[in-house]
Amino acid sequence: MIGDIDEVLNRQVPPGLYDTAAGQPMWTAFRSQSADKGLMSTLRGRVAPQEAHRRHTEDHGRSSVGTWGVKVGDANEHGLACVDDGAAAENPHDHASVDFNGLTKAEARIAGMALHETACQHGPLYVPGQGVS
């Protein structure tokens, strides 16, 4: 468990989960995807948002429109634990997961929507071509 409730975890938003018309991620970018076993992937706050984006795109060959932040405390308020799992062999160093396991589908939806709302209120932490906020 990550104990610092003020730590901001770096979440990458893939193009398919970004609403271009609204100019922000869709709420579904802030929940675990079906293949993720109930875990939403992030990088710890000690990684700069631009570096988090670089690792995601260049090191792992994935697409991302940018980096948004999720506070540990915001996740905790909605029954979500934040776990430092960077030591696991399948995860990169500095990896952390927001754990949606144990929530009903409705609870997970509400939690994901709440994380989306707070992340969007704070705006992107990094968008290629726009820099760091």
Within-domain flag for 121: yes
- Domain count for the chain: 1
What ranges in 1-133 are assigned the alpha helix state H? Answer: 49-54, 72-77, 105-122
User: What pLDDT, in 10s, does the model give residues 16-49?
Assistant: 999 999 999 999 999 987 778 899 999 999 999 9
Residue 110 located in a structural domain: yes
Q: Please, what's the largest Cα pairwise distance for the chain?
A: 39
pLDDT grade for 130, boundaries at 50, 70 and 90: confident
**Would 16 be classed as within a structural domain?**
yes
In angstroms, rounded to a whole number, what is the distance separating the alpha carbons of residues 48 and 67? 10
Domain span holding position 75: 8-128
**Residue 109 domain-assigned?**
yes
Q: Is 3 contained in some domain? A: no
The rounded distance, in Å, linking the Cα atoms of 73 and 33 is 21
Q: Does a structural domain hold residue 96?
A: yes
In a domain, 133, yes or no: no
pTM passes above 0.85 = yes
- 42 lies in a domain? yes
* pLDDT tens-digit map of 72-88: 999 999 999 999 998 77
